[in-house]
Chain A
Amino acid sequence: MFRAIAAHLMMTLMLAALLGGCGDSDAPATARSPADGLTGKLTLTGSSTLAPLAAEIGKRFEQRHPGVRVDVQTGGSSRGIRDVTSGAADVGMSSRSLNADETPGLTTHTVAWDGVCFIVHRDNPVAALTNEQLLAIYTGKIDNWKQVDGDDAPIVVIDRAEGRSEVELVTHFFRITTPDIKADAIAGENQQAIKSVSTNPNAIVYLSIGTSEHEAARGVPIKLLPLNGVPASVATVLDGTFPLARPLIMITRNDTPSPLVDAFIAFATSSDVDDLVEAQSFVPIKH
């Protein structure tokens, strides 16, 4: 009898502790009532490239406006444009510019830039590669550096994991599909890509320009290759001259103005989210 009661008590206590713990981590001790009057739910759909960043921005927005819920769903840029046009989403996300027939009644807001460059080891004598040479290297038609005026050494081609935004950008740029790429290794995270090249003078990989520039400045032995004669840097991405870059945009409807959507877009394009943009290896916009 006593044991049963004790067990019961214990159970209740543990449950309470568990639930209490959950509640605490969910909501900070600050007042829950919306001080600024912003309440409601915001739905974003579209580009899977932009979605992780949008989710982070959404989280920070929710912290500042406790009455707001931000729901981010993926499904591709086309879905984002379609959903915001139809009203299924409040904000569409796209990692490509809109076609002419998609624009009426919509406003686009660039929230970040996605720029990708090719890097080689600093000791690699090759200073630049043409688009044709890069394409030939990545499709396995050129496999020795001497074919592109480098040393007599095999080219170690490193690709990125399928589904990453870098892959999408590069395959789109060269008008190829992922099965066309003949790689010697595949790198996941940016740091792995950097390490694969900084430890192998014959390797080549592509990754975020922001991360590459940062690592090169830190003294990691890598070299950013120019593209079409344009040096790879955050600056050339921002002024629109670097060819392997694209804006990440949020799209809103003109006919249904909403203070909540306006506040969210203003926040997403403010310098308050620059650190989130950089954490996702994108380039923040100029404010």
Chain B
Amino acid sequence: MSPSSTDTIDATRHARRRRVIDALLLAALRCAAGVSAAVVLVIAWFVAAEAWPGLRDVGVTRLLTDDAWRPTAGRYGMAPMLIGTLAATFGAVLLTAPLGVGSAVFLRFYAPRRVASVYRRVVELLAGVPSVVFGLWGIAVLAPLIATVSPLGQGQSLLAGVLILTMMTLPTVALTTDAAIAAVPADTRRGAAALGLSRRAIAWRVVIPAARAGIVTGVILQTGRALGETMAVLMVCGNIVQTPHSVFDPVRTLTANIALEMGYADDRHRAVLFVSGLVLMLLVAGLVLIAEAIDRRRVHVT
């Protein structure tokens, strides 16, 4: 047998082996994708099924209009907690968005290279801090600090929740904004510079508008995180079920409510807690859809 024919056989064998590996890999990936999708569906179905007795027996109207949340006494007013959740979340977003974008612009346009590198590491570190650590810090440092200025004499409040959520979402918004700015083609920036625009004009008039979709998507996804955040919020918000009239009022969020009461709830009380879980899932799903829509538009534009 000549050496060249051995080579051919080897090559065929190789090709066949590669095909088998490819097929196996594809199957494995399909399984993984199928499992992830199935898990989400199973959870959604489970939450809906558990919530159904609550929706059926209590009804949406009573959940929204009952005058108080006293599940052991048959009163299921969830509206104050829905308001508390939205207030804490959007309060945090109002602070996070400008601060996060500002910090990313500083990083990309103003910071000296060495400062920028250290700063970026610090922000990444902050993004990795577990929420319970933020909660402990909030109850031990932030709440007593707020207590010194609060007319109520204690610091566990909506304000504490907003600030903690801001601290938790800020680093990720800063990082996603940073990435969105980095993704703007260098030609755009060079073109702007060639036109003789100032650094400020390049940043705010050219690059930020070009990166807008990526920035907004990052902010929206972090809004979802703030909505779902539980431990830290539970520890600093005071957890009184009431509609807040000032930032110093304690509030209870839907997530905190589930964490506080699920361990001790049964029957209808438990089902109503699942209803609040369902509401949270729908809110987050809505946000993800919005982020998705914005992301798609970006693909069409560029």
A contact set with B: CB distance below 8 Å: 2-3, 6-7, 9-11, 14, 48, 52, 74-75, 153-154, 156, 161-164, 177-179, 183-188, 192, 195-196, 199-200, 202-203
Contact = CB atoms under 8 A, between A and B. Distances in A.
B23 A2 contact: yes
A9 B239 CA distance: 52
B156 A163 contact: no
B18 to A, nearest CB: 13
Given A6-B20, A177-B73, A183-B240, A162 B261 contact: yes
Contacts of A153: 153
B26 to A, nearest CB: 7
Given A3-B26, A161-B261, A186 B31 contact: no
A156 B156 CA distance: 10
22 contacts: A6-B23, A6-B24, A7-B30, A10-B24, A14-B31, A48-B264, A74-B266, A153-B153, A156-B153, A162-B71, A162-B72, A162-B261, A163-B263, A177-B73, A178-B70, A178-B73, A179-B73, A184-B154, A184-B156, A185-B250, A186-B240, A188-B239
B193 interface: no
Contact of A192 (B26, B235, B261): B235
B72 A163 contact: yes
Contact of B154 (A3, A11, A156, A163): A156
Contacts of B139: 192, 195-196, 199
A247 to B, nearest CB: 20
B234 A10 contact: no
Interface in B244-276: 250, 252, 256, 259-261, 263-266, 269
B276 to A, nearest CB: 14
Given A74-B266, A199-B139, 7 more contacts: A162-B71, A163-B71, A163-B265, A185-B240, A186-B238, A187-B239, A199-B143
Interface string B25-60: 011101100000000000000000000000000000
A200 B240 CA distance: 18
Given A74-B266, A156-B154, A163-B261, A184 B27 contact: no
Contacts of A3: 23, 26-27
A195 B141 CA distance: 11
Contacts of A9: 27
A105 to B, nearest CB: 28
Contact of A184 (B70, B250, B252, B264): B250
A118 B156 CA distance: 20
Nearest to B269: A163
A172 to B, nearest CB: 13
A9 B70 CA distance: 54
Contacts of B235: 192, 195
Contact of B27 (A6, A74, A154): A6
A162 B258 CA distance: 11
Nearest to A5: B23
Interface string B155-179: 1100000000000000000000000
B82 interface: no
Nearest to A198: B140
B68 interface: yes
A79 to B, nearest CB: 11
